[in-house]
Amino acid sequence: MSQDQTAAPKPAPHRHAVEVVPDAGSLATRTAEWLIEQIAHAVQRRGRAVIALSGGSTPKAVFACLAGHPWRERIDWATLHLVWGDERFVAEDDAARNARMTREALLDHVDVPASHVYPIPADPGGDADGALDRAHVAAELYATTLHALNGGATLHDDKPLFDVVMLGLGEDGHTASLFPGTAALDERHAWVVPVQTDNVTAPVRITLTYPVLESTHAMLFLVGGKSKHAIAGRVLGGDESLPAARIRPLGGMLWIMDQDAATG
Ligand code: 6PG
């Protein structure tokens, strides 16, 4: 390696702000408020808000909040462009799909233009052995979608792809579908990759990779419930054996946690 390509010094643990709210209800309302603030900043900055949504169950209450009064009236939904940080590679109508959860909780109730919603491709179906190959095709397709959303440009630190990246935290320290021990953790070139966890009963996943998720003005970890207390403590303590502890957004990082997750 030439002199200027020697390994860069390890980045310092990322600074993050942490907000603790009393319960699941306030976790949803506080997050809805924060998202409205971020959308306003984004629209002022560049006329639109490009948001990568998290999946799983925690965001559902946030989306339901945004779909209702008074939050719904406070957002110009036509300014939003929505992608997902990860997805379960299952059939379109499978209840496990993050896009289905988001549609039922939010998109069916607000007017985001259909052309501004970019779901990760679903599994078109076929034999189980071929799922990973089909997921590779879907991941490459989605990477093309993200490239187009980014105006065909490569990722540049001075022009983040996202205005907001929403993330959750799994009890094993995964975030998006960046699971411990998977090759996705070391992927620094592809924007989107399939992930086969060691749980063979679980569906193949598709995830955005670290460089893409990190290309954001603002990152939110949304964490609730007693079951997340221990792992949240390890991630916030900088335990870099955990995927969630390794993410370094270009912009600020905020954790919004309920009391159960914060104090157990
Ligand atoms: C997914 C998510 C995943 C999730 C965490 C937390 O597709 O499952 O993207 O990263 O955010 O597993 O999930 P819960 O909110 O259900 O605890």
pLDDT tens by residue, 138-173: 999 999 999 999 999 889 888 999 999 999 999 999
Whether 175 is in the pocket of ligand 1, judged by its Cβ within 6 Å, is yes
Sheet with 252-258, edge to edge strand ranges: 17-21, 252-258, 216-223, 162-167, 49-53, 80-84, 117-118
Task: Identify the residue with better confidence: 1 or 93.
Answer: 93
pLDDT tens by residue, 125-136: 999 889 999 999
Domain 19-263: assigned CATH number: 3.40.50.1360
pLDDT band at 1 (very low <50, low <70, confident <90, very high): very low
The whole-angstrom separation of Cα 123 and Cα 120 is 10
**So where are the chain's domains?**
19-263
Which residue lies with its CA nearest to atom 11 of ligand 1?
168
Which of 97, 175, 221 for mutating ligand 1's site (highest number of atoms within 8 Å of CB)?
A: 175
pLDDT tens by residue, 193-211: 999 998 888 999 999 999 9
Mean pLDDT for 21-33 is 98
Mean pLDDT for 106-116 is 98
Residue 2 has a pLDDT of: 46
Sheet with 205-208, edge to edge strand ranges: 86-88, 205-208, 192-195
Q: Residue 217 corresponds to which amino acid?
A: H
Whether 203 is in the pocket of ligand 1, judged by its Cβ within 6 Å, is no
Helix, coil or strand: residue 103: helix
Whether 258 is in the pocket of ligand 1, judged by its Cβ within 6 Å, is no
Whether 144 is in the pocket of ligand 1, judged by its Cβ within 6 Å, is no
**Distance from the CA of 112 to the center of ligand 1, in angstroms?**
23
